[in-house]
Amino acid sequence: MSTAEFGQAVRRWRDRVPPETAGLPAGGQRRAPGLRREELALLAGISVDYVTRLEQGRASNPSAQVVEAVARALRVSTTEREHLFRLAGLAPPGPETVPTHLTPSVQRLLDRLSGTPVAVYDAIWTLMVANQPFAALMGDPSGLRGNMRNAVWRTFLQPGDRVRYTAKARLDQQTAVVADLRRARARYPGDPRLRKLIAELRTRSEQFVRLWDSGAVGLHEAARKTIDHPQVGAVTLDCDILTVAGTDVHIMIFTAQPGTTDAERLALLTVLGTQTVAG
């Protein structure tokens, strides 16, 4: 591993990312126009000390997950991401691996939806990034690690989020995510995370086994969802799921009809969430 070159690349690319483009406040005096170390740490989900050691070439053998998180936080191009993996002594993820990279064009799309609850998941429904309005609506996911970030795992093994479900709606959701996993397994047969996820679900969830073995086929459709928010009460929103062609990245977007009570509550909880983060 070229630790010095890896650190130099991280530092150089950190300087070129204005904080406001990453959804962070740009206030205060800055020695450089880009992200501070603590801001990169926040966006990548790692400690400030680890960012410091990476940049100074004192951290050896960063994992693929860390390199991916840093690359995503720095908004690098596909070519730059591959270069960062090689500097870390790692092979860039191949075509049989579930993509976890957000292209600059998709990132720009998310930037323009900064006032709308948006979350981005990979092909196996592991959360990649969620903006502040989504965190305010559904709960802050920044502290989630491992399988806790996977929506399929949580659906079958830890249900109980803020969304209300009828029995039919719950079954429809379960069927759709199982179908997504089946498609992902066919497309990315070499992905170890996917194999491990399916194996654990088959071991621990009888409902998953029933749906998987039955060959159930389901699709995500636009739906209205009611979220029981602890501060503003029930909010009913339209939920749309978009899939980025060629990457299987899923973008989940919540919107409210303008002029409604739900729109007012959505705006209020977004403000409350911003104040909580600021505090």
CATH code, domain with 17? 1.10.260.40
Q: What is the pLDDT of residue 115?
A: 87
CA-nearest of 31, 10, 131 to 74 is 10
Residues 186 and 265 in one domain: yes
Tally the domains of the chain: 2
Residues 200 and 198: their CA atoms lie apart, in Å, by: 6
The verdict on 81 and 149 lying in the same domain is no
Q: What is the pLDDT of residues 185-242, one digit of tens each?
A: 999 998 999 999 999 999 999 999 999 999 877 788 888 999 999 999 999 999 999 9
Do residues 127 and 245 both lie within one domain?
yes
Q: Containing domain of residue 10, as a range?
A: 3-87
- Asked, for residue 217, whether it belongs to a domain, the answer is yes
Summarize pLDDT for 160-178 with one digit per residue, the tens.
789 999 999 999 999 999 9
> If we measure between CA atoms, which residue out of 96, 119, 154, 136 comes closest to residue 252?
119
133 in the same domain as 69? no
pTM of the model: 0.82
Q: Are residues 159 and 250 in the same domain?
A: yes
Do 20 and 52 share a domain, yes or no?
yes
Q: Are residues 265 and 132 in the same domain?
A: yes
- Under the banding of pLDDT at 50, 70 and 90, the label for residue 30 is confident
Q: Which residues contact 166 (CB under 8 A, 6 or more apart)?
A: none
**Does residue 94 lie in a domain region?**
no
> Using CB atoms within 10 A of its CB, is residue 262 exposed (0-12), middle (13-18) or buried (19+)?
buried
- The CATH number of the domain holding residue 206 is 3.30.450.180
20 in Cβ contact with 111 (< 8 Å): no
In a domain, 139, yes or no: yes
Domain contains 99 = no
Give the C-alpha separation, 186 to 188, whole Å: 6
Which of 87, 119, 142 terminates a domain? The answer is 87
Length of the chain: 279
d(CA 208, CA 175): 9
Among residues 87, 122, 141, the one where a domain terminates is 87
Domain end: 26, 60, 87, which one?
A: 87
Mean pLDDT of 73-77: 91
Does 256 share its domain with 178?
Answer: yes
In a domain, 144, yes or no: yes
Packing angle of the helix pair 64-74, 3-15 (nearest 10 deg): 30
